[in-house]
Chain A
Amino acid sequence: MMTKHENLNEKWDVQLRKGSLELVILAALKNRTLYGLEVLKLLHSFETMKITEGTLYPLLDRLKRDGLVSAVWQQEGETRPRKYYQLTKQGEQKLDIVTKRWRQSVKDVEFLIQNPGPKSIQLKGE
């Protein structure tokens, strides 16, 4: 029974991530400069954001192509070179816009959950 529950959770997470992952990455990089493994470790510290390497890197590549993040290779001391990502101005703007939409969505969904039938909801504009 427990496994079925977990399975459902995971399916839900995957579905939700499809639309929200870009926001998640942009938010993770807000005022931070991180390389891929650091982004991955950061996301894995959250219950619902355990994405794979195979999802993360192509997405970072696309965000870079879209001009939302920039990337530079850096080498510190004896460590191997790493590719560090940060938000561009355009990325910050997009994060602001998408954040507002996200909050609106959460508010709307939450409202519906809080107001089950049979009582009717007063619709806007009526």
Chain B
Amino acid sequence: MEALYLLLPISLVFVLLIGAAFWWAIFSGQFDNTDEAARSILQDDDSTAPRPADEPKPQSQVSDPSGARKE
């Protein structure tokens, strides 16, 4: 039963930690814009045509498997 004298102060510390975490979450914007994550999947760029800046990349990727096949 004497464990209670230790557990009670620990519970107080936990409450303070949880309160501080909740405080941080609100003021760092964790509760703002909750539907943005759901919407972002719809705003994804699904186009298959290679963009000019990406052109070198597919070529290098194609060369890799061919190299693997040789071995």
Q: Tell whether A pairs with B.
A: no
